[in-house]
Chain A
């Protein structure tokens, strides 16, 4: 014991860990500042630009009648919040799936979330065409039920990572066929489907955001609390079982969390799947594998990325808007390729 104490004193580990902590602190602070700046820009800019003094005036005096107040309160704040919520929700949903399934290509699509939401929105449009308010609920329910179907199927065959992926493929293609049938039988549904597939944050109101926002916030907290368990799960089923982790329950919990996160985002933003795939990878390249730091980093990068893309989407060709999903792909893919080509970072990541 004495020898170990001496070793501890002599060890350079402390300083290295301190450096790592300092690095993580720097990353989080930088990303937080970036997000705050983007929030500010997002509120200021758009098809009509608003001065800082007008923002302060509109918020502090609550001049309800002014156009600035109306734009800020009914357009910019809901839109900014929706980008933050969508970005963070999708990023963590993807991060969870990539960790739980130990698959770099895992994204919410893999557990049937997108296909489930697609079928239910198609059904809602076909059978309740006048009821637009039911669409978010339909998307959410579809995503959630498809995930449950995938997990139930996988569990029947052992719930291993591979069976979950295979069950996801099987359920998704079955649901895809059902959706195509609905689209052929009810041709009118095709029109609303296009905007659902492209996804976007146009016209999101605070009312529409309320429920998904609460679900996403709650899911993010739970994911963060169980972040260390996600680290243990990444050691593989047998090793993590031997360490006392209830593998089946933990995997089920995380898959449900992932479904809640992406299903909630789909309910108000449609299919913005790209963030779920790319943001976890970018975050891992920056802060490494530890989910306790990876989760907050992904939340900040996901929110900032979605916000940045949304700002571009509504300003690049103002007063016209480019769908935010297209901007995300145009910006995200080259940046991701740049990070992968960076040898030093790749070494840490591979």
Chain B
């Protein structure tokens, strides 16, 4: 469980998120939604200690994460940014980087580290690519490799910044299934996501942000019923269910006169 108390954060002195207080419960999938530039990524980066807040506390099991060393934090919290360099590296070696917080000098992986990497490759179904350079892979395959790295990191809390953006529908759904698997493993997954339907159907909790402030943070159904999604995004939102065989879905349409 990770708790944010009155957190204000941003870049170069500009406050992007203001006085945010919320708790990410253990073992849940939490989606952060909101318009472009509302502070979703800033919230994710602050909660995962990538950037330091201007004020407020971030508590992990009651302990301020800024009192922990970088490696201590990395053993508990992992963060996958949206925009990444594509390094010239073999898949296996990249996934092994997930074990960095556990490696002492001279950074030689132990049997356990190799095992964790093997498990991650196996779980993501990328065993067959492990000797390939990640530059040879497609966007979807690369995303899986990075998630395997996060899995090898073996942290309880996983922050994913737009994990499905730029992916085809097959890979989008595959990544969301992987997110569900992470939950089954007892991990807390907090992700920024633009696809509102995925956010409402795959998550346990949805956090709607606007202008750096939380508008509503609740279960997907409650967030939908609050009508705030329609207000913030200036859209019409409808719940649909094709038949008993399929899960409930949400469709959206542009609302010019709202």
**Max count, chain A CB within 10 A of own CB: residue among B50, B69, B100, B153:** B100
Contact of A243 among B118, B119, B153 (CB under 8 A): B153
Stretch at the interface among B82-90, B166-174, B191-199, B202-210: B82-90
Given A231-B89, A244-B70, 13 more contacts at CB 8 Å?
Answer: A4-B119, A8-B118, A11-B118, A102-B85, A231-B93, A235-B84, A236-B85, A241-B79, A242-B74, A288-B88, A289-B88, A289-B89, A349-B88
Knowing A242-B78, A289-B88, A289-B89 are in contact, say whether A232-B100 is a contact too (CB < 8 A). Answer: yes
Q: Is the CB of B50 within 8 A of A242?
A: yes
A244 is contacted by which of B74, B106, B119 (Cβ under 8 Å)? B74
Query: Is the Cβ of A242 less than 8 Å from the Cβ of B48?
Result: yes
How big is the B interface, by class? 35 or more
- List of B residues within 8 angstroms of A7 by Cβ: 118, 122, 127
The interface residues of chain B lying within 8 Å CB-to-CB of A229 are 107
Residue of B nearest to A8 (CB): B118
The interface stretch among B56-64, B130-138, B211-219 is: B130-138
Evaluate contact between A4 and B118: CB separation under 8 angstroms: yes
| Chain A, residue nearest B12 (CB) | A158
Cβ contacts under 8 Å, B101 to chain A = 243-244
Q: List 14 A–B pairs whose Cβ atoms lie within 8 Å, in order of A's numbering.
A: A13-B131, A225-B105, A228-B106, A229-B107, A242-B74, A242-B77, A243-B74, A243-B100, A243-B101, A243-B153, A244-B74, A246-B70, A348-B133, A350-B88
Residue of A nearest to B131 (CB): A16
Residue A181 at the B interface, CB < 8 A?
A: no
Q: Which of A's residues lie within 8 Å of B, judged by CB?
A: 3-4, 7-8, 11, 13, 16, 102, 158, 225, 228-229, 231-232, 234-236, 238-239, 241-246, 288-290, 348-350
The answer to the question of B115 belonging to the interface, with a C-beta cut-off of 8 Å to chain A, is yes
Are A4 and B115 touching (Cβ within 8 A)? yes
Q: Cβ of A290 and Cβ of B93 under 8 Å apart?
A: yes
Using a CB-CB cutoff of 8 Å, which residues 97-119 of chain B contact chain A?
97-98, 100-101, 103, 105-107, 115, 118-119
Complex: A231 Cα to B90 Cα, angstroms: 12
Query: Would you call A234 and B105 a contact (CB within 8 A)?
Result: no
Interface residue? B141 (CB, 8 A): no
Q: Establish whether residues B106 and A239, one from each chain, have CB atoms under 8 Å apart when the complex forms.
A: no
B70 and A234: CB pair below 8 A? no
On whether A13 and B92 interact (CB within 8 A), knowing A225-B106, A235-B97, the answer reads yes
**A238 partner residues in chain B, CB cutoff 8 A:** 45, 50, 79, 81, 84
Q: Establish whether residues A235 and B75, one from each chain, have CB atoms under 8 Å apart when the complex forms.
A: no
Beta-carbon contacts of B151-173 to A below 8 Å, as 1s and 0s? Answer: 00100000000000000000000
Flag whether B35 is at the interface (Cβ < 8 A): no
Q: Is B21 an interface residue (CB 8 A)?
A: no
On chain B, the residues within 8 Å of A288 by CB distance are 88
B19 contacts across to A, CB distance below 8 A: none
Q: Which residue of B lies closest to A292 (CB)?
A: B107
Cβ A241 vs Cβ B50 within 8 A: yes
Main secondary structure of the interface of A (DSSP, over half): helix
Would you call B73 an interface residue if the criterion is a C-beta within 8 Å of the partner chain's C-beta atoms?
A: yes
Q: What residues on B are CB-neighbors of A234 within 8 Å?
A: 85, 87, 89
Closest residue of chain A to B146, judged by CB?
A239
CA distance A45 to B41 in the complex (A): 64
- Closest chain-B Cβ to A299's Cβ sits at a distance in Å of 17
Q: How far is the CA of A231 from the CA of B70 in the complex (A)?
A: 17
Is B26 part of the contact surface with A, judged by Cβ < 8 Å? no
Which residues of chain A have C-beta atoms less than 8 A from B119's C-beta? 4
How far is the CB of A344 from the nearest CB of chain B, in Å? Answer: 13
User: How many angstroms between the C-alpha atoms of A178 and B94 in the bound complex?
Assistant: 45
Q: Which A residue sits closest to B153, measured CB to CB?
A: A243
With a cutoff of 8 Å between Cβ atoms, the chain A residues found around residue B73 in the complex are 244
Please report the C-alpha to C-alpha distance between residue A225 and residue B187 in the assembled complex, in whole angstroms.
Answer: 34
Q: Which chain B residue shows the least CB distance to A228?
A: B107
For B49, what are the chain A residues with a Cβ–Cβ distance below 8 Å? 241
Q: Is B71 in the interface zone, CB < 8 Å from A?
A: yes
Question: Is there an interface contact between A244 and B71, defined as CB atoms closer than 8 Å?
Answer: yes
Residues of A within 8 A of B30 (CB): none
Answer whether residue B80 sits at the interface, using C-beta atoms and an 8 A cutoff. yes
Map CB proximity to A onto B17-34 as digits: 1 under 8 Å, 0 otherwise. Answer: 000000000000000000
Given contacts A8-B118, A102-B85, A243-B100, contact A350 B135 (CB under 8 A): yes
CB neighbours (8 Å) of A13 from chain B are: 92, 130-131
Chain B residues with CB under 8 Å of A290's CB are 93
Q: How far is the CA of A21 from the CA of B88 in the complex (A)?
A: 19
Bound Cα distance A243, B69 (Å): 12
Q: How far apart are the CA atoms of A104 and B201 in the complex, in Å? A: 45
CA distance A236 to B153 in the complex (A): 17
Q: Which residue of chain B lies nearest to A243 when distances are taken between CB atoms in the complex?
A: B100
Cα A243 to Cα B89 with chains together (Å): 16
Q: In the complex, A8 Cα to B119 Cα: how many Å?
A: 10
Residues of A within 8 A of B72 (CB): 244
Min distance, Cβ A267 to any Cβ of chain B, angstroms: 30
Question: Taking the nearest CB of chain A, how far is it from the CB of B122, in angstroms?
Answer: 6
Q: Is the CB of A244 within 8 A of B133?
A: no
By beta carbon, the residue of chain B nearest A3 is: B122
Inter-chain contacts of A232 with B (CB < 8 A): 97, 100
Q: In whole angstroms, how far apart are the Cα atoms of A212 and B127 in the complex? A: 48
CA distance A26 to B71 in the complex (A): 36
Q: How far is the CA of A42 from the CA of B74 in the complex (A)?
A: 51
Inter-chain CA distance A314–B189, complex, in Å, is 65
Which B residues are CB-close (under 8 A) to A3? Answer: 122
